[in-house]
Structure 1
Amino acid sequence: MALIPAQARSKTLRACLLCSLIQTPADWKKVGCPNCEEVLGLKSQPEKIAACTTTQFDGVVAVVDPDQSWVARWQRTAKYVRGMYAVRVMGRIPEEVEVALERRNIKYRPRDQTEMD
């Protein structure tokens, strides 16, 4: 497996604004978000992918065993699939997505480590 330089990474990999999972653009298009697909519907939706993911993120953690990982608990990813997660993502999901989450009784917590309004 080849390492991706940080500068190239920021232009190619994208992190989900809801769960912070990191994937390639091709993976976002092919499978959407394995954690959030039911609520975000990103698969094969380039506009939604652009709105609900970002290239702006800090730090990367590998979660191999989400149930046993203290890092996954700290990052609030313990119930998600194993994979690479951003420690912090910059940006927020679109307002209409946030409203849709509220309708489903899902509390949105921004992953940019700021307080919500």
Structure 2
Amino acid sequence: MSDAASAIIPPTKSRNLRACLLCSIIQTSADFRSIGCPNCEEILQLKDNPDRILACTTSYFDGMIALIDPETSWVARWQRTAKYARGMYAARVKGRVPEDVEAELDSRGIKYRPRDQSDQD
């Protein structure tokens, strides 16, 4: 996490933040456990599943983007989050979704694009 983000978020809170490996939304572990991912819950099934939260989210991410109006934001288009829920998103996350999630996406005809920017077009 960047120094600027650390300065804004109290240290006791920032170490509990995790980013979804599929959509990059940032929430606390407790939020992922209680409500799941607002964008990916159908596929990831994080709600009430601590093991799945550890596998499908990461505490290693760079930058934070506040997404307030996803449909009109050029940043949302650039980050591929224009159709996602409002919230805080990581600019880049470290890691990939598990193989079973990639297989599920493939079976639905969805191309997985990692959020670590390793798969640039």
Regarding TM over 0.5, the answer is yes
The alignment partner of 2:54 has SS state of helix
1:4 matched residue in structure 2 = 9
What are the Cα deviations for residues 17-75 of structure 1, in whole angstroms up to 9, with x where unaligned? 00000001110001100000011111111011000000000000000000011111110
| Cα 1:96/1:4, change in 2 over 3 Å | same
Give the TM-score normalised by structure 2.
0.88
| 2:51 is aligned with 1:76 | no
1:111 matched residue in structure 2 = 115
1:35 matched residue in structure 2 = 39
Identity %: 64
**RMSD, aligned α-carbons:** 1.5
Select which of 52, 56, 62 maps to 2:60.
56
The alignment partner of 1:29 has SS state of helix
2:90 matched residue in structure 1 = 86
The alignment partner of 2:103 has SS state of helix
Distance 2:21 2:103 in 1: 15
Following TM superposition, where does structure 1 have runs of at least 4 consecutive aligned residues deviating by more than 2 angstroms? 5-8
| Cα 1:46/1:65, change in 2 over 3 Å | same
Distance 2:34 2:110 in 1: 25
| 2:70 is aligned with 1:66 | yes
Stretches of structure 2 lacking an aligned partner (at least 5 in a row): 1-7
Give the TM-score normalised by structure 1.
0.91
Stretches of structure 1 lacking an aligned partner (at least 5 in a row): none
1:95 matched residue in structure 2 = 99
- Alignment: residue pair count: 113
